[in-house]
Structure 1
Amino acid sequence: MKSIILFFLPVFLHLAGCEKEDLTISECDQIAILSEEEFKNAPADHLTILASEIDEDCLWIKFGSSGCSGETWELKLVGSEKEYLSIPPQRDVRLSLKNEEMCEAYFVKEMTFDLKTLRSSGEKMILNLLNADTSLLYEF
């Protein structure tokens, strides 16, 4: 019995000393992109943002656009690399939509975006959601 305990003791001590790694697993649908090039050049097909809210590290957006089903829409949240020097700092973001559906029906969808890639130094920042003409306080 002593030999079994002595065999597993180093394994247990090693596991007990390990710190939990940050696994970067997101509960959001997508991860926001921080890229000046994408911010300027990502598709900008027409959409209407109906509501938005930040819950911890996820930005929830309810939006609508015309189309046949909305199943082929390509969406991404893109943030500018430029920060406005204010307290707290600010960053412009926009919801990019690529919509090649040529139907006149109107669909409303909801999507969440992980905001961790948009963080700056400090504990909070203001995200200016340009195509909603609104600002949201992101605390992290």
Structure 2
Amino acid sequence: MPVSVDWTELLHTFEFVSLGQPHEHEAVLCRKSGEFLWHTDLEEDIEAWPDDADDEKKYLSIPHKKELDLGKPLVFEFARQFLPDEFNEIRRIFDRRGAYARFKDLLQRKKALDRWYDFEAKATEAALREWCEVNGITIEHGATPAPEPDRR
């Protein structure tokens, strides 16, 4: 049974799930109501977390960005396309903790930070839309395009 979701709600829920490491934050989509439920071990439950959240007939788990290859593989693809001369340095950056901060510093020095954010937003939108299609989710008519990424 297909379910419809609001694009902005889906994107915000996906961003919540993708904070930190996989499984630090979780969210599910109720297949019946189309409602998103959020859960984190860091605080009291944001929403009432259902006991049967792992029942795939009732709920669909929202993926972490790493499950959609939107982590390091995306960084390396960006480097191949837009910063091929820096590819080896970027690979070295991602061999240690704190890689994203150092990567963004490099992008700033190379004046490529805005290009990265645009590339990342487009890849995220494409991956989420494909995930929706695979899982029988329709995006409600009138859904807004992906918002500008947080550039902090």
TM range (shorter): under 0.3
Q: Which has the higher strand share?
A: 1
TM-score, normalised relative to structure 1 = 0.26
TM-score, normalised relative to structure 2 = 0.25
